[in-house]
Amino acid sequence: MIRQTALLVFSLVLGACAHSDQSPLPSQQQTDSMWSSGKLAYENICAGCHEKGVDGAPQTGDREAWDDRSRLWAAVLSEHARQGYGAMPARGGMDTLSDADINKAAEYMMRLTYPETHRD
């Protein structure tokens, strides 16, 4: 009995660890409740390009890439995220992402890049 229980627990743990790095995008019905924080919006929409610099996107955490942008980030960064800019689609390609969540995601991205200048 103990051996069967241990095998079942091991199988469940192993199954939980076997997930894809590419999670599917949520359905439109789910987005209103899902994007309640900037971190969640950033991780699910923005990070796909900004973590690796896809198509010239400035990388999160790379101060040099953001130095020219950061002085105007509050107005310009949020506007670019809403309207699209260069290769970046409007709202990161997620039309149901609210303006408030775009602003929170931009703030989160800047906190990751400049943690000493943004305090809660």
Query: Domain residues of the chain, as ranges?
Result: 27-113
Quote the pLDDT of residue 93.
92
For domain 27-113, the question of CATH label 1.10.10.10 is answered with no
Is pLDDT above 60 for 120? no
Query: CA–CA separation, 101 vs 11, rounded Å?
Result: 38
Quote the pLDDT of residue 51.
95
Quote the pLDDT of residue 20.
39
- Per-residue pLDDT tens over the stretch 74-116: 678 888 899 999 999 999 999 988 999 998 898 888 888 888 8
DSSP readout, 15-56? HHH---SSPPPPPHHHHHHH--SHHHHIIIIIHHHHTTTGGG
